[in-house]
């Protein structure tokens, strides 16, 4: 658990440092590669999804789930701040709204008749794996050095959150490995 918290803290510090110490190079409107525009927009939606899910779960009593939610919210808030600055420099408009899927799932997290803790953990694992793949592609394939740097800075926090969720899931259900 301490490893996860330390990894998340280091990741957050590096994302924060990137946002504060390094300004993204501005590009003319419309000059950014379409794949990079789509990455920024997808990352924006994913941040809002994860922030919404995490905030719905933070008030829960189960310490492990609450700790996971706090880590997810913290890392995605830092990423959201850095992403807004990056998108502005690249002249990319962000919707800053939840995905349709997340909008439907978010309400389930506050229902009393479902195992919301398990649902949240499973969502973090599923979404975390998808986000890791998205950010790895951006890091490896983007032609924009600022986008590659942002993706590289965010990956450790995504990996840490996903690993923490996977560990919690395997404790809840040992058959899940």
What are the counts of helices (DSSP H) followed by strands (DSSP E) for the chain?
6, 0
Q: Is the pLDDT of residue 154 over 80?
A: yes
Per the structure, the count of domains in the chain is 1
Range of the domain at 44: 2-172
Q: How far apart are CA 14 and CA 100, in angstroms?
A: 31
Residue 113 lies in a domain: yes
Range ranked top by mean pLDDT from 13-22, 30-39, 159-168 = 159-168
Residue 177 lies in a domain: no
Residue 68 lies in a domain: yes
Q: How far apart are CA 166 and CA 139, in angstroms?
A: 24
pLDDT at position 103 is: 85
Residue 46 lies in a domain: yes
Residue 155 lies in a domain: yes
What is the per-residue pLDDT across 87-146, written as a single tens digit (0 to 9) for each?
Answer: 999 999 999 998 988 888 888 777 777 788 888 999 999 999 999 999 999 999 999 999
Residue 135 lies in a domain: yes
Residue 136 lies in a domain: yes
The CATH number of the domain holding residue 116 is 1.20.1260.10
Work out the mean pLDDT of the chain and round it to a whole number. 84
Q: Which two tokens stand for residue 122?
A: 């499973």
Contact 176, 169 (CB under 8 A): yes
SS (H, E, C) 52-91: HHHHHHCCCCCHHHHHHHHHHHHHHHHHHHHHHHHHHHCC
Q: How far apart are CA 37 and CA 172, in angstroms?
A: 39
Residue 149 lies in a domain: yes
């Amino acid at each position: 658990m301490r490893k996860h918290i330390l990894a998340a803290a280091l990741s957050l510090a590096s994302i924060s440092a990137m946002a504060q110490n390094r300004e993204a190079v501005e590009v003319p409107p419309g000059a950014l590669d379409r794949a990079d525009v789509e990455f920024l927009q997808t990352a924006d939606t994913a941040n809002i999804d994860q922030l919404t899910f995490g905030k719905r779960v933070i008030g829960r009593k189960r310490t492990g789930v609450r700790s996971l939610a706090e880590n997810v919210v913290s890392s995605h808030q830092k990423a959201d701040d850095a992403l807004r600055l990056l998108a502005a420099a690249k002249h990319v408009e962000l919707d800053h709204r939840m995905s349709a899927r997340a909008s439907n799932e978010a309400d389930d997290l506050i229902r009393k008749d479902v195992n919301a803790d398990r649902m949240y953990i499973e969502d973090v694992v599923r979404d975390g794996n998808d986000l890791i793949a998205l950010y790895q592609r951006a890091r490896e394939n983007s032609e924009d050095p600022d986008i590659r740097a942002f993706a590289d800075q965010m990956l450790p926090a995504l990996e840490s959150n996903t690993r923490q969720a996977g560990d919690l899931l395997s404790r809840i259900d040992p058959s899940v490995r």
